[in-house]
A and B are shown apart, each in its own frame.
Chain A
């Protein structure tokens, strides 16, 4: 068909890459693959998409009971904060955990066709993002119903989600690229995800962090995300990372930002470097 459009010039083929095959195809593929994945993940289940709500809600119920009834936590609007941060954290843990093996799982595609490798981890993150958006709607409804009045600042929540998604993407790229050669990464990440969970102000409000552990706030990119989400949605009077109650200096925001930047840069760099050789390493 396109052969009739005159004589095309010879162009050099430089081998596989992370992008490769045109921008349009790249985006179409990423989109279609995530949509398919999203549909597939609940395929055959009776409750379908409801499961994407049930999972965080269940976790929430357990943690809430433990922390308010047994440990007698008494933070204002604790339930709303917990639910919100759990949901956000869900994106991070779900996407990264699935992304680790994603490139290797797509072996057939990688080895048998010219395929922009970056699409694979990206579509995993995107699928989880669909899940998050669905659950966030339900969570916001719950928060509004529980007595926290919706405010104009809720509209800024997508911004936080975008930052979170970028961070998640960076980590996913790094993990999926390294996993091709070092299979230990999957096990290691399973543990690290837990460490990060307890190391971030998800279960507990940021102001509870004792001075001895405040260094966490300088290095953990998830911390400002959780803190700001809480301020935007649940409680505008809650301390920001830079407030005295939390990190207490602007490095509370600069530090995590640097870490996030570094993770994303290293992730992208590693992935781009690994991409041309992936088909051979598998």
Chain B
């Protein structure tokens, strides 16, 4: 990264929004209460974000909802104005942050491509010349004269994406593209991003999909609560992102801003499952209890340590969770250098499926997260085919209440 020229440089970027407590202010309200100031809540979307992107880099931007990623993109794209800080960009910038912006549903694909092309900075002639290419890429040759409002959403996305690939920008800002469209379209997006990167374009790419972050990006940053939480390898960022998601909304901002934050901290080491015979396994018959074993390598003193785990089904639904159970009593401490083994015995009413078990380690009463493993162990439950997450005890009974139901509904023919 050192030799490549810098394409984007962001220094100490701040942005806050003032959100009035009641949205639309009429003149009458102003006239009747001329001296009452409208009450605003200030939302600090970004609080001092700095980073650099080298030319030709594909950088992922991860962050939870409301963390400020989209604000960052919009600041880069000149949609918002920064309160403080500096953004410098080399070369030209694709002016949009979302696919299909500026499409007019009442116009045909042809007219929209012209209009959108000009919006992206092409001359009208260029836009016309590239029309065929755009349509060919989008595979919409048969629907050129059809109005966009009659397009399916998949067709729209194809057209929009294909428009984007034609934008002659050195820097592209992309917000959640891969989240839409079918699998085949998603693959096409991925291929195109790869191609654009090979062409030397710089791409900033906001995503929630950690898989595409890991597979596509050279580097990633993580925005959390308006602060640059991490600027690292996508693997690490993805890991951290999952940690944050796991830890729930309120915490996580106990931020030490720079440096890898988990270096000298205590961690959850090996985690495995044992059956009742004490054998390590991941396969369990329905009904046989699960023993979860977790090792903790203590690197720094942990006062009032707590341990939590959760079980998530294959669709990521949380089946069960234990939050922050004190280990070693309420006044206990874990000393540096110790290795602690935690054992949890869990009954197993789980329906046959594969599950992920996530573990978390906490300190103090402030609910300070020390470490999290996500997933820590895999669990496969075998048994008879059932729907749902758990098998509950049930009985089915049928009783005749009256001989002939006098329900009028019964009389109406089907």
A1 on the B face (CB < 8 A): yes
User: A76-119, CB under 8 A of B: which get 1 and which 0?
Assistant: 00000000000000000000000000000000111111110000
* Residue in A closest to B92 when the chains form the complex, CB atoms: A2
* Residue in B closest to A119 when the chains form the complex, CB atoms: B119
Which A residues from 29 to 77 make CB contacts under 8 A with B? 29, 32-33, 36, 40, 43
User: Quick check: B106 and A8 within 8 Å, CB to CB?
Assistant: no
Contacts from B to A (Cβ < 8 Å) = 5-6, 9, 17, 24-28, 30, 55-56, 74-82, 86-93, 95-98, 101-102, 104, 106-107, 111, 114-115, 118-119, 121, 123-124, 168-170, 199-201
What's the interface size class on A, roughly?
Answer: 35 or more
A-B pairs with beta carbons under 8 Å apart, 23 shown? A2-B170, A3-B56, A3-B199, A13-B87, A13-B88, A15-B75, A15-B78, A15-B81, A16-B78, A16-B81, A20-B78, A21-B95, A108-B101, A108-B102, A112-B79, A114-B78, A114-B96, A115-B95, A181-B25, A183-B24, A183-B26, A279-B80, A280-B17
A21 CB to nearest B CB, Å: 6
B2 CB to nearest A CB, Å: 15
A1-B168, A32-B118 given; A16·B97 CB < 8 A: no
A147 on the B face (CB < 8 A): no
State the 10 A-B residue pairs at the shortest beta-carbon distance, nearest first: A15-B81, A113-B96, A114-B95, A10-B88, A112-B101, A8-B91, A3-B200, A13-B87, A184-B27, A114-B78
| Chain A residues whose C-beta falls within 8 Å of the C-beta of B95 in the assembled complex | 21, 113-115
Q: How far is the CA of A277 from the CA of B104 in the complex (A)?
A: 24
User: Quick check: A36 and B79 within 8 Å, CB to CB?
Assistant: no
| Chain A residues whose C-beta falls within 8 Å of the C-beta of B78 in the assembled complex | 13-17, 20-21, 114
* Residue in A closest to B95 when the chains form the complex, CB atoms: A114
A59 CB to nearest B CB, Å: 28
Q: Which of A24, A28, A188 has the most CB of B within 10 A?
A: A28
| Chain A residues whose C-beta falls within 8 Å of the C-beta of B89 in the assembled complex | 10-11, 13
Q: How far is the CA of A29 from the CA of B79 in the complex (A)?
A: 17
| Chain B residues whose C-beta falls within 8 Å of the C-beta of A110 in the assembled complex | 79
User: Quick check: A12 and B88 within 8 Å, CB to CB?
Assistant: yes
| Chain B residues whose C-beta falls within 8 Å of the C-beta of A277 in the assembled complex | 81
Given contacts A4-B200, A10-B89, A40-B104, 5 further A-B contacts (CB under 8 A): A16-B78, A112-B97, A115-B95, A182-B27, A277-B81
User: Quick check: B97 and A113 within 8 Å, CB to CB?
Assistant: yes
| Chain A residues whose C-beta falls within 8 Å of the C-beta of B26 in the assembled complex | 182-184
| Chain A residues whose C-beta falls within 8 Å of the C-beta of B30 in the assembled complex | 182
B50 CB to nearest A CB, Å: 14
A244 CB to nearest B CB, Å: 41
A151 on the B face (CB < 8 A): no
| Chain B residues whose C-beta falls within 8 Å of the C-beta of A182 in the assembled complex | 25-27, 30
Q: Which of B86, B91, B124 has the most CB of A within 10 A?
A: B91
Which A residues from 255 to 282 make CB contacts under 8 A with B? 276-277, 279-280
A22 on the B face (CB < 8 A): yes
* Residue in A closest to B200 when the chains form the complex, CB atoms: A3
User: Quick check: B77 and A113 within 8 Å, CB to CB?
Assistant: yes
A40-B106, A183-B26 given; A114·B77 CB < 8 A: yes
A9 on the B face (CB < 8 A): yes
B399 CB to nearest A CB, Å: 59
Q: How far is the CA of A282 from the CA of B398 in the complex (A)?
A: 60
User: Quick check: B106 and A43 within 8 Å, CB to CB?
Assistant: yes
User: Quick check: B118 and A28 within 8 Å, CB to CB?
Assistant: yes
Q: How far is the CA of A188 from the CA of B173 in the complex (A)?
A: 40
Q: Which of A4, A9, A15 contacts B80 (CB 8 A)?
A: A15
B83 CB to nearest A CB, Å: 10
User: Quick check: A32 and B80 within 8 Å, CB to CB?
Assistant: no
* Residue in B closest to A44 when the chains form the complex, CB atoms: B106
Q: How far is the CA of A188 from the CA of B27 in the complex (A)?
A: 10
Q: Which of A1, A25, A113, A280 has the most CB of B within 10 A?
A: A113
Q: Which of B27, B104, B106, B115 has the most CB of A within 10 A?
A: B27
User: Quick check: A1 and B199 within 8 Å, CB to CB?
Assistant: yes
User: Quick check: A3 and B74 within 8 Å, CB to CB?
Assistant: no
User: Quick check: B101 and A109 within 8 Å, CB to CB?
Assistant: yes
Q: How far is the CA of A279 from the CA of B70 in the complex (A)?
A: 13
B385 CB to nearest A CB, Å: 46
| Chain A residues whose C-beta falls within 8 Å of the C-beta of B97 in the assembled complex | 112-113
User: Quick check: B27 and A3 within 8 Å, CB to CB?
Assistant: no
* Residue in B closest to A108 when the chains form the complex, CB atoms: B101
Q: Which of B75, B79, B106 contacts A111 (CB 8 A)?
A: B79
B290 CB to nearest A CB, Å: 48
Q: How far is the CA of A150 from the CA of B75 in the complex (A)?
A: 57
